[in-house]
Amino acid sequence: MKTILFSDTLLIEIEGPKVLRFVERFSNCVEYSIPGFQKNKVILRDYRQNGLMAIDYVLATNDISRFPDYFNGRAFATIIDSSDDTPMIIELTEPTGNSSNYLLWIAVGLEEIPVYEYLFGLVEPIGNYRHAFLGVAILDEQLPKEPMKPQSPSNSSTSSRKSVSELVSSY
């Protein structure tokens, strides 16, 4: 049974040089996998015009330097939870409305995780005191607090989906 974890307009931001792994360009969308999540695979499908322009530019020029400028921005996101045999699916379509009270933040290679109030987060160690992170944060007018440093990093490939309080208390 599929469980929808989130469905609303948000801001999306990727951080890190290898956050998205290109899988395939279809006529109406582009599909990526998100490296770093070994236990809970994550697939992102982007149907937005800016998302398609971002990958088309990269494929035509082999220049990835401008990719985040096109990719990051507003989207209507539907996030479907993973099960034992299916990956988590993130679908991005054109945004609805003018406000975005949430942030979908995807980062690979983090040493520190910014402190926001997260609706949910997925954290997995990737070695060398670094982590892959995917989370939906509630935005407000405040800047994030000081970043958290993982206290006991693990080199195992265990992954966990954590609530806001668990994310804060585990670091």
For residue 24, which of 44, 49, 50, 3 has the smallest C-alpha distance? 44
What is the pTM assigned to this prediction?
0.79
How far from 44 is each of 14, 79, 90, CA to CA, in Å?
12, 9, 5
Tens of pLDDT, residues 93-129 = 999 887 789 999 999 888 877 778 889 888 888 888 7
